[in-house]
Structure 1
Amino acid sequence: MTQAQTETVPEQIRPGRTRWGMFTAILAVPTLVVAGLIALLVAWLFTDDSVDTGVRTASCAEALAFGGAKLPTGAYDARCTIQAGQDTRYEAGFRMPRDEVREWLTATYPDGPRLRTEQCGSYSVDECLNRGPVAGQSSSVQVEVTYDGPNWSEVRFVAFTL
């Protein structure tokens, strides 16, 4: 017998598959999650998330007039606000001489209650006055007085509708 010669065909060499594709896919997911969290953080930092309470600066003459009062002549450092919604609420705060507080309140509310030292709602308040609605009016008034030394007092005046 004759021997048949076989031809050897060289094997074609193809590049082998690497695992870089799998490695990239595994790293892409956490990278995208971190990038998303950073984007949310930046958006949160630069957005205006303040809440509008409806409190605005008001004229002190208007605020006190709503409760039937006028700013005392010796008053200073006055600041007043209005909060308007379903009900209207004016707040005024000012400083005045200590010995003129009672005179001012007596002249403002001659038929009203007098200052009292108990049931004022806060330990820091020395005297207070609550005046409910009077005939023909739909507003109430609360006055809180805190004495600041022997000569001065801090007055907080609140007038609101019922």
Structure 2
Amino acid sequence: MAEETGRTRPLGRYWWIWVTLVVVLGVPAGCVAWGAYALSESGREQEVPCDKALAFARAALPEGARDARCTGAHWQDTYVTASFRVPRAQARDWLSATYPAARRAVSCDTDLCLRAEYGDADLAAVDVDVTYEDGDTALVRLRAFDM
């Protein structure tokens, strides 16, 4: 019937209304979806190379270390963990060479606990626990974080 009278529907006006609705509603919805995804990924603990994790903690993996496993989590701050086994006699030497200014932790549930505090933006503190497992092996657990 519109063809008979020569009149056409004003599609231009409705097309712009749909575009405006998509932009006004779609862009914020997309931003919310992206933000939810970004927050779900941040702070999740993930495997990291031990050389990078220990470099953050101002340390290096000692010679003869085995069973090394390192993780890191990042969001507003960084939190790194490392665990490895070394010969028992080597554990104390590695600690004193790596963290000479560290002090013994006040409470300790393992054989040896140290805390090195730095208080700067790159690294706040490092906590190290050593557990003597069998006759010749020590399990070293290290936690480092910034603020």
Which interval holds the TM-score relative to the shorter structure? 0.5 to 0.7
Larger radius of gyration: 1
Q: Does 1:82 align with 2:72?
A: yes
Distance 2:54 2:113 in 1: 16
> 82, 96, 99: which is aligned to 1:109?
99
Query: Could you tell me the TM-score, scaled by structure 2's length?
Result: 0.65
Select which of 125, 128, 131 maps to 2:113.
Answer: 128
In structure 2, how many angstroms separate the alpha carbons of the residues matched to 1:88 and 1:136?
A: 11
- What are the residue-to-residue correspondences of 1:12-27 with 2, within 5 Å? none
Task: Give a deviation string over 1:67-87, Cα, whole Å, max 9, x none.
Answer: 110000010000000011111
Match of 2:139 in 1: 154
Q: Secondary structure at the match of 1:95?
A: strand
| Structure 1: runs of 5 or more not aligned | 1-50
What number of residue pairs does the alignment pair up?
107
- Once residues 120 and 80 of structure 2 are traced to their aligned partners in structure 1, the CA distance between those partners, rounded to angstroms, is 20
Q: CA offset at residue 118 of structure 1? A: 5.3
Task: Tell me the SS of whatever aligns to 1:150.
Answer: coil
Answer whether contact 2:123 2:144 (CA < 8 A) is retained: no
Deviation at 1:149, TM superposition (A): 1.4
Q: Point out 4+ residue stretches in structure 1 off by more than 6 angstroms.
A: none
1:119 matched residue in structure 2: 107
**Counterpart of 2:144 in structure 1: which amino acid?**
A
Q: Deviations over 1:32-86 (max 9, x none)?
A: xxxxxxxxxxxxxxxxxxx866111001001111111000001000000001111
Gaps of 5+ in 2: 1-39
Q: Does the alignment pair 1:67 with 2:57?
A: yes
Distance of 2:71 and 2:122 partners within structure 1: 21
Identity of aligned residues (%): 42
Return the alpha-carbon distance in structure 1 between the equivalents of residues 105 and 59 of structure 2: 21
Q: Which amino acid is 2:107 matched to?
A: Q
Root mean square deviation of aligned Cα: 2.1
Contact 1:95 1:152 in 2 (8 A): yes
* AA aligned opposite 2:132: Y
Of the structure 1 ranges 93-102 and 127-136, higher mean CA displacement relative to structure 2 is found in: 127-136
**Which protein is richer in helix relative to its size?**
2
Whole-Å separation in 1 of the counterparts to 2:132 and 2:121: 33
Distance change (3 Å), C-alpha of 1:59 and 1:152: same
SS of residue paired to 1:61: helix
